[in-house]
Structure 1
Amino acid sequence: MIWTIIGIIILLWILGVLFEIAGGLVHLLLVVALVVFIINMIRGRGRS
């Protein structure tokens, strides 16, 4: 599920860069997705 969300956000980021759609918002979403991914990786390792 997380990979699907990350893929969609990266796709939106690429479209935003190419067509300059909602410039700052797309970059903000990408940063949020990256932070969530890192948090999930850290929590996943801590449980093992």
Structure 2
Amino acid sequence: MAKAFNAGFPRIHDRLALTVYLATVQVEASEQLIDVDPARLTERFLSWARARA
């Protein structure tokens, strides 16, 4: 069952695919959350996916 649940999501270790997926979801959220600053959504969705030093 878990395999089917995760089938549509990028692998967590594939940072590029994860970042693209999160950016896509962020755009969808910004269309629905019109009262929220888009820059704030970008920070919230993408900041934790950045490469760590």
The normalised TM-score by structure 2 is 0.46
Larger relative contact order (Cα-Cα within 8 Å, sequence gap ≥ 6): 1
More helix by share: 1
